[in-house]
Structure formats: structure tokens, C-alpha cells
Amino acid sequence: MSWERTIGRVSFINCEPLFHGLDESWNVLPAPPSWLTGHLIRRDCIMAPIPAADYAKYSDDLVLIPDLAISSRGEVGSVLLFGSVNIESMSSIALPSDSASSVALLQYLISQNGLSPKFVEMGPDLQGMLNECDGCLLIGDRALEGARAHPELVKMDLGLEWNKVSGHPMVFGVFAARKDSDMALVKSAYQALISRLESFELENSVRNEVIQVSSEKSSQSVSRLERYFGEVINRMNSGDMDGLKLFLKTACNMENQIVMAWD
């Protein structure tokens, strides 16, 4: 199937409300967040959710899709700093190799607290990271599982901390397309995803299906995922956009204005 009929998706359950039951005429390309940026740039897909920090890096080449995001308006539950000591005592923090926004956000929050630990990029494995460093950042399903298995090690929920510091929601992932894409095709992909999101939001049967499928994929309990799909949010509103603009300016040093694919 051609790249113009392919939509990238984060290979975590945080995108399940958008992709569960997607029309089979679309091909889905699952990958870690930062990998999706490369796929989008290389024209492996017409549209994809990418780290907001990567949008800042490639904003000359990309446009943002309205309404869709991976965000939180408080606790996100799946972007967590773990450690066996308090944050103030961490001399080193392991950073995962599969996310850009969470890394930029953590570095920003740590600097705002006047701390300067050593940051070390590693593969995203809780025990392996903590064997080498005092703290570690995990995202997505690995963060959910780490919090379930070792709740005593959770030292910071980055969505909640950003909200406390900024007073705004945190947009971790944005949906983007290349500026030179055929926008009619991009809109077709958008319509396919937004229709699934609307079903998730309005139909209890669809929401329950998404939670059940996500439980099977992640080994998280249904009760935990009922909460989680209120923590992670896929519909972006004006408040989320304000938070995104602030994050891009303060944590990513982005000078360009955000360019939307359409109004």
C-alpha cells in the first residue's frame, strides 16, 4: 500500500482511541514516537503523531493537524521519572532513546528546579537504567508497567509537574504532515482518525472495547485504563494549543510560529 494511504501511530496504547476500528483501507505504521518523525520526513506515511519537540526541530518542513494530539491536563500516567532516591539527590538520570518531547520536558523541569544531574541516553528498560543511574525516564506502556510493578519508585509525573509549573496542559505528541503533501489526502486521513475518536468519546460500547483491547495489549487492569483514558487525551482544544505554544517556546526554544495544515 502506498505511503499516501499509510498513517503512522505510536506503538503504545495512548493512541488506541484513534486507531481501534480504523477503516481497513488505511495501512497503519506503528513505531516509537521519535522513529515516526523519520518515517514522516521520508514519506513512509501521509500523517503521524510525532513528539512535539520534533515538530520544533522540523517546523520548516511540517504542518500540524488540527484537533488531534497526545496530551494531558494534569497527570498523564505514562510519562514518569523513576528513582530509588529523591529527585534532589539524583546525580544521574537515564533518558530513553525513543522520545524527544518527554526528554526536553524533563530537562526543562529539572533546570527550573536549579538541579544539574548528568543525563545519559539508554534503551528504555527500568531495571537496566536504574542499575546505571539514580533516576530514569520512561514513557508509554513501559511507564505504566513500571508504575504498576514499582509504585514506590515513581518520583514525578511529568504531565502533572508541567501543569503545576506552567498552569497549562502538556501536549507530548502532535499529529503532523509534510508541508508539500496533498492536503486532500491528509484531510482524508484526519477524517478517518477523528471519526474513530468521536466514536470513542460518544459510544460507551466503543470506549469499553478500546479499554479491553488496551488491557490485553498492556496487561494493565481495566480499572486502571478507565482512569488512564481520562489522563491521556487525544482531542486538542484551545487550552492545549496554548500549552503547546509555551512548551515549544520555553523548553524547545522554537522561534517559528506554528503552521496548521488548515484552519
Torsion of CA 246, 249, 252, 258, to 10 degrees: 90
Number of domains, the chain:
2
Averaged pLDDT, groups of 10, the chain, 263 residues long = 93 97 96 95 98 97 98 98 96 94 97 95 96 97 97 98 98 98 98 98 98 96 98 98 98 96 92
Domain annotation covers residue 7: yes
Same domain, 217 and 240: yes
Which residues contact residue 197 at a Cβ distance below 8 angstroms, ignoring those fewer than 6 apart? 17, 18, 68, 234, 235
Phi/psi class of residue 224: alpha, beta or left (left: φ > 0; alpha: ψ in -120 to 50)? alpha
Domain annotation covers residue 263: no
Residue type, 177: A
Domain annotation covers residue 262: no
Same domain, 107 and 149: yes
Which residues contact residue 173 at a Cβ distance below 8 angstroms, ignoring those fewer than 6 apart? 10, 14, 33, 49, 50, 51, 52, 69, 70, 71, 101
Instruction: Show which of 132, 147, 166 is a domain's final residue.
Output: 166
Same domain, 66 and 90: no
- pTM score of the predicted model: 0.96
- Here the CATH number for the domain that contains residue 244 is 3.40.190.10
**What is the domain extent for residue 117?**
79-166
Instruction: Show which of 166, 191, 214 is a domain's final residue.
Output: 166
Instruction: Show which of 140, 166, 192 is a domain's final residue.
Output: 166
Do the beta carbons of residue 192 and residue 65 sit within 8 Å?
no
